[in-house]
């Protein structure tokens, strides 16, 4: 284990901020990466994630069932899967030579997933078999939660409904008519959290085909306040779920082999996610990543769990 005990208590571990779904630093979605988390307790990992204060931090651990294990923590809680942190972790490991280009396996809380690293450093993550179904929602309630005119949903609702979709982490997927409506959303995060929870979802992913870039399939925004992430800049798990949603509801005559989802522009963190989801197969999400910060973090000693009696 590569760590140094500090004279003032605790130990130092390598810690990075890696921007995923972008080739430009300080864009895309920043993930914390702790490439050697072996021996850290849950409380220590949570403390590190809180200190790094990005939407998710990935902790790399040994695994008996895969090439490696990763656990993901937001500043407030552990989540079962995180796409951008997976991309960021493997991009960093590839950059440092810790992994070679090719196929790898990753143990997560939702099972063992396949990860591919290409020769040029792009990372592809295969998610779980999708589950997608239409849900009955009150458009007025959705509009109040997202801070958006509910007619923006009704316009497309006859063709593409609001639906539950998951390929590892569940989202309420909400189609919207125009980019202006998506960009001007002013969410009530408590209401978004309640809306997602009522449909057994981690968060809400709103999207429109009215994208900024001509080559993009859609533009999305993702809100996950229940996990301590009011708005996630660029979201791999939600992109996979949305890809499965588009395939399930036949949004196109034939789902493109690779779709491009843009996200993050309205929070000044633009990025692009590449999605394969045709034919009901397991969604595969791909992206680039770049290291923005490389340093060490001092990890506190494990807390004494003994109960103090008055």
Q: Residues 178-192: pLDDT tens digits? A: 999 999 999 999 999
Answer yes or no: are the C-beta atoms of 48 and 203 closer than 8 Å: no
What residues act catalytically? 56
Instruction: Out of 1.10.468.10, 3.90.76.10, 3.40.50.300, 3.10.310.10, select the CATH number for domain 10-126+290-299.
Output: 3.10.310.10
Q: Which CATH superfamily is domain 131-282 in?
A: Diaminopimelate Epimerase; Chain A, domain 1 (3.10.310.10)
99-108, 158-167, 255-264, range with the lowest pLDDT: 255-264
pLDDT at 172 over 80: yes
Q: Is the pTM of this model over 0.85?
A: yes
Burial (CB count within 10 angstroms: exposed 0-12, middle 13-18, buried 19+), residue 147: middle
Based on C-alpha coordinates, what's the Rg of the chain? 19
pLDDT at 303 over 80: no
Sign of torsion over alpha carbons 87, 93, 95, 97 = negative
Residue 191 is encoded by which pair of tokens? 């209401």
- What is the model's pLDDT at position 126? 97
- What is the model's pLDDT at position 235? 97
- HEC-encoded secondary structure of 246-300: HHHCCCCCCCCCCEEEEECHHHCCCEEEEEECHHHCCCEEEECEEEEEEEEEEEC
Domain ranges of the chain: 10-126+290-299, 131-282
Residues 90 and 64: their CA atoms lie apart, in Å, by 18
- What is the model's pLDDT at position 157? 81
User: Confidence class of residue 3 from pLDDT cuts 50, 70 and 90?
Assistant: low
Residues 229 and 76: their CA atoms lie apart, in Å, by 9
Residue 256 is encoded by which pair of tokens? 């493109």
- HEC-encoded secondary structure of 43-105: HHHHHHHHHHCCCEEEEEECCCCCCEEEEEECCCCEECCCHHHHHHHHHHHHHCCCCCCEEEE
Q: How far is CA 206 from CA 66, 142, 147, 219, 274, in A?
A: 34, 10, 12, 8, 17
pLDDT at 63 over 80: yes
- What is the model's pLDDT at position 280? 85
- What is the model's pLDDT at position 6? 46
Contacts with 87 (C-beta within 8 Å, 6 or more apart), sequence order: 20, 21, 31, 123, 125, 236, 285, 286, 287, 288, 289
Pairing of strands 111-117, 68-73: unpaired
Nearest to 94 by CA among 61, 60, 64, 119: 119
Note whether 10-126+290-299 and 131-282 share their fold: yes
pLDDT at 308 over 50: no
Residues 248 and 13: their CA atoms lie apart, in Å, by 44
Contacts with 150 (C-beta within 8 Å, 6 or more apart), sequence order: 139, 140, 142, 143
Q: What is the DSSP string of 130-177?
A: PEEEE----HHHHHHHHTS-THHHHHHHTTS--EEEESSS-EEEEE-S
């Amino acid at each position: 284990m590569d760590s140094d005990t500090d004279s003032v208590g605790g130990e130092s571990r390598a810690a990075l901020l890696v921007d995923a779904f972008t080739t430009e630093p300080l864009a895309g979605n920043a993930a914390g990466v702790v490439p050697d988390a072996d021996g850290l307790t849950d409380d220590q990992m949570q403390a590190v994630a809180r200190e790094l204060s990005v939407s998710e931090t990935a902790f790399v651990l040994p695994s008996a069932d895969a090439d490696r294990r990763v656990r993901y923590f937001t500043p407030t809680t552990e989540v079962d899967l995180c796409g951008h942190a997976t991309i960021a972790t493997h991009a960093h490991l590839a950059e440092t030579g810790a992994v070679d280009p090719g196929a790898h396996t990753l143990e997560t809380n939702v099972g063992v997933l396949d990860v591919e690293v290409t020769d040029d450093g792009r990372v592809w993550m295969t998610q779980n078999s999708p589950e997608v179904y239409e849900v009955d929602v009150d458009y007025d309630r959705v509009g109040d939660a997202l801070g958006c005119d509910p007619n923006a949903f009704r316009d497309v609702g006859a063709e593409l409904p609001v639906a539950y979709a998951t390929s590892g982490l569940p989202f309420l997927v909400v189609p919207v008519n125009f980019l202006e409506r998506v960009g001007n959303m002013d969410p009530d995060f408590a209401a978004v959290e309640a809306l997602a929870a009522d449909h057994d979802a981690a968060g809400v992913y709103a999207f429109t085909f009215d994208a900024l870039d001509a080559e993009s399939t859609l533009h999305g925004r993702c809100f996950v306040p229940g996990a301590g992430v009011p708005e996630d800049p660029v979201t791999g798990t939600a992109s996979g779920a949305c890809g499965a949603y588009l395939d399930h509801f036949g949004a196109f005559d034939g789902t493109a082999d690779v779709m491009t989802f843009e996200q993050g522009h309205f929070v000044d963190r633009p990025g692009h996610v590449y999605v394969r989801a045709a034919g009901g197969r397991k969604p595969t999400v791909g992206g680039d990543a770049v290291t923005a910060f490389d340093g060490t973090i001092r990890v506190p000693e494990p807390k004494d769990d003994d109960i103090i009696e008055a």
